[in-house]
Amino acid sequence: MSELNFLDLIMLQKVDKDSAVEKFGTLINTSFFETANLLGSLKVKQLVEIESSIGGASPVTLTELGKGVLLEAEEQSAKELDALDSAILSSLSRGVRELDALTTDLNIMPKDLAYHIHKLVVQRYAAYNVRSAKVSISLTEKGFNQLGQAHQAVAADAAALGMDSAVVSSSTSSQTANVQSAQAAKPAAVQAPKSSNAPSSSGPSDWTPGAVDAKTSAPAPKGQQTTLNSPKKSEPIIELPKVPVPMMRKATKLQYYFMKYWFILAVILILIVAGFALGVAKLLRLI
């Protein structure tokens, strides 16, 4: 029964003892073919029975399951408004009128939405219109006023919470001011800065300002003084022979070409040696 939607509930309410497939389209402002598809969907859900007839009307009757759905819808419509009803009214006030868009906006099961929309319609908070198998829902004056009263109640609660927070903040600020004034009334103790050179209460009384301790004014040892003041000896710098840059580049290129074309050079050298040997052999034959 989770596939039940509000359009199915509307069609179940339209079924009576004289209902037929051929006449049902005028009840919901829908064409014959779309009405036949909708009635076929209700038959698949086992909510109605359709009797086929040749040459006459095909009557439509409610099943026990369909009657149970209508009975449950009537029981739900007698209840008071709840949070879901308020959410539906709020969505309708924002311009969400189509049934599919309302289902997507609230993200709720179609069956639950169908029962709550039916409750709003029965209690005259909303009204619906069916055209071409599409359901559009709108607020009535009663529904609009109900939504306004809900907004006023929320605003009143927010104002009450704001007044409570203001009272708490004012009391807190007054307590803070009292604490600060009490702290300001206390005399601040001034402490004289202590000097390392000042004499203790038990020491001699011939101390004079600017006196320097003997330990701090003792000169440094002679060896240490000379070590600190003597400059560092410069180490000899070994200079390498400078090679002209063009010669280095030339040697580098020769090495590169030799490493790349050594096989070709070897073949040329072999050919030269072979030609020289052949020439020598011919010369010996002539002699």
Per-residue pLDDT tens digits for 65-111: 999 999 999 999 999 999 999 999 999 999 999 999 999 999 999 99
Residue 203 has pLDDT above 70, yes or no: no
CA distance 141 to 125: 7
Condensed to tens digits (0 to 9), the pLDDT of residues 125-141 reads 999 999 999 999 999 99
CA distance 49 to 43: 6
Greater confidence (239 vs 35) lies with 35
Residue 202 has pLDDT above 60, yes or no: no
Q: How confident is the prediction for the chain on average, in pLDDT?
A: 76
What pLDDT is recorded for position 50?
Answer: 93
CATH of 6-144, one of 3.20.20.150, 3.40.50.720, 1.10.10.10, 3.40.50.300: 1.10.10.10
Condensed to tens digits (0 to 9), the pLDDT of residues 247-286 reads 555 556 666 666 777 778 788 888 898 888 888 888 788 7
Structure tokens at 88: 């539906």
CA 260 to chain centre: 61
Query: End-to-end distance of the chain based on CA atoms, in angstroms?
Result: 124
Q: In the predicted model, what is the mean pLDDT of residues 218-241?
A: 52
HSE toward the beta carbon, residue 180, CA cutoff 13 A: 6
Condensed to tens digits (0 to 9), the pLDDT of residues 146-194 reads 887 766 655 565 666 665 555 545 555 666 666 566 666 555 444 444 4
Contact assessment for residue 103 and residue 116, using Cβ atoms and an 8 Å cutoff: no
If you write DSSP's letter for every residue of 107-175 in order, what string do you get?
T--HHHHHHHHHHHHHTTSEEEEEETTEEEEEE-HHHHHHHHHHHHHHHHHHHHHHHHHHHHHHHHHHH
What pLDDT is recorded for position 287?
Answer: 72
Q: What is the pTM of this model?
A: 0.53
What pLDDT is recorded for position 271?
Answer: 87
What pLDDT is recorded for position 264?
Answer: 80
Q: Is 66 helix (H, G, I), strand (E, B) or coil?
A: helix
- Domain residue limits, the chain: 6-144, 248-287
Condensed to tens digits (0 to 9), the pLDDT of residues 12-47 reads 999 999 999 989 999 999 999 999 999 999 999 999
CA distance 127 to 120: 8
